[in-house]
């Protein structure tokens, strides 16, 4: 089975390994190297690194909309193309080339959270369940029929980074199951997505990191979890801008001005919100590193 794989971040690497275990991955497509780190040097994607380690040809076109891109893919004669967090739009002319189409591993229970940031939006919304879907791509945004799906509970304190890692492994399992069926000549049954319950997971933006203390503690705690490890929630606290890495919602704070610190102890800093208290457990001062709330209080007292 000739497989072409397209993916870019670490989330896609387990799926690449799953594809390698089910067929012949004849080429890997990934985003062009991008500037990263303090030196802003060009850095290869994690998928590129994994492909090179496995001795697989890597291709990094800026676009798949050209005649050359179509010709190059057609020459690979793919039975199926697997797409996992690739980051480029696949036009219909590309989707039509593989014998069995292009399959996508998507980190949500479609049709909920179509789009770029399904893991973070699920946490931000307070969802208690999510999962992964293996779907056949069409010209819409995550609108294609679903072959297989698997659901998991979202932990009450689970961060965006932690859930992404879990779903990365689950996505690889679901992909392996689908490719295993295809390898023995059984195309998985495709089920059209429901027309109700559609939501869109818009790309995360840096400005969203700024917390508004007038929101409820529950909503703020969800944002802190969702935005870890990026962009990391930030807020003004006692006149100082801090980044908040870990926090939970607790009762209390009625009648207190939102943003006021109402308690500080080993358990954390309790800050009044529009409803309830946000107990900050781990935070970061400007120019510093992430520390516990207790260490933060001690440092403030020392000055």
| Rounded Cα–Cα distance for residues 276 and 203 (Å) | 29
Backbone angles phi, psi at 302, to 5 degrees: -65, -20
Annotated binding residue at 15? no
The per-residue pLDDT of the chain, averaged, comes to 96
pLDDT, one tens digit per residue, over 158-195 is 999 999 999 999 999 999 999 999 999 999 999 999 99
Distance CA 29, CA 50 (A): 12
DSSP, res 11:
G
C-beta of residue 237 within 8 angstroms of C-beta of residue 210? no
Three-state secondary-structure class, residue 6? strand
pLDDT category of residue 10 using cuts at 50, 70 and 90: very high
pLDDT tens per residue across span 240-294: 999 999 999 999 999 999 999 999 988 999 999 999 999 999 999 999 999 999 9
**Domains of the chain (ranges, CATH numbers):** 2-201 (3.40.50.170), 207-302 (3.10.25.10)
Residue 156 marked ligand-binding: no
Q: Is the pLDDT of residue 303 over 70?
A: no
Q: Which of 224, 205, 202 is nearest to 213 (CA)?
A: 224
Residues 116, 23, 20: CA angle, nearest 5 degrees: 55
CB contact at 8 A, 232 and 209: yes
Q: How confident is the model at residue 302 (pLDDT cuts 50, 70, 90)?
A: low
Question: What residues contact residue 147 under an 8 Å CB cut-off, 6+ apart?
Answer: 103, 134, 135, 136, 178, 188, 189, 190, 191
- Strands in 222-294 per DSSP E: 233-237, 240-250, 261-265, 268-272, 277-285, 290-292
45 is in an annotated binding site: no
At a CB cut-off of 8 Å and minimum separation 6, what does 162 contact?
Answer: 155
Question: If pLDDT is split at 50, 70 and 90, which confidence band does 233 have?
Answer: very high
Rounded to two decimals, the pTM is 0.95
Task: Say whether 108 counts as a known binding-site residue.
Answer: yes
Is 238 a residue whose pLDDT tops 90? no
Which spans in 184-291 are helix H?
217-226
């Amino acid at each position: 089975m000739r497989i072409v794989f397209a993916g870019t971040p670490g989330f896609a690497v387990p799926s690449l390994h799953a594809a390698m275990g089910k067929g012949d991955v004849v080429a890997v497509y990934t985003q062009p190297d991008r500037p990263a780190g303090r030196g802003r040097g060009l850095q290869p994607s994690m998928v590129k690194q994994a492909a090179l380690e496995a001795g697989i040809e890597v291709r990094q076109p800026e676009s798949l909309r050209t005649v050359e891109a179509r010709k190059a893919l057609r020459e690979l004669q793919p039975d199926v193309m697997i797409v996992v967090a690739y980051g480029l739009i696949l036009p219909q002319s590309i989707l039509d080339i593989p014998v069995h189409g292009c399959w996508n591993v998507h980190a949500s229970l479609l049709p909920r959270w179509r789009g770029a940031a399904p893991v973070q939006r699920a946490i931000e919304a307070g969802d208690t369940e999510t999962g992964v879907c293996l779907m056949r791509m069409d010209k819409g945004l995550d609108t294609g029929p679903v072959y297989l799906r698997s659901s998991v509970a979202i932990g009450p304190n689970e961060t965006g980074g932690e859930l992404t890692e879990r779903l990365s492994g689950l996505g690889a399992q679901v992909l392996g199951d689908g490719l295993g069926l295809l390898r023995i000549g059984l195309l998985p049954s495709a089920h059209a997505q429901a027309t109700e319950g559609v939501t869109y997971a818009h790309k995360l933006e840096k400005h969203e990191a700024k917390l508004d203390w007038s929101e409820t503690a529950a909503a703020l705690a969800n944002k802190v979890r969702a935005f870890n490890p990026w962009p990391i929630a930030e807020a003004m606290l006692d006149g100082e801008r801090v980044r908040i890495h870990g926090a939970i919602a607790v009762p209390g704070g009625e009648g207190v001005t939102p943003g006021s610190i109402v308690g500080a102890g080993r358990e954390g800093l309790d800050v009044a919100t529009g409803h309830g208290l946000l107990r900050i457990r781990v935070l970061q001062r400007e120019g510093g590193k992430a520390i516990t709330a207790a260490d933060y209080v001690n440092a403030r007292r020392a000055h």
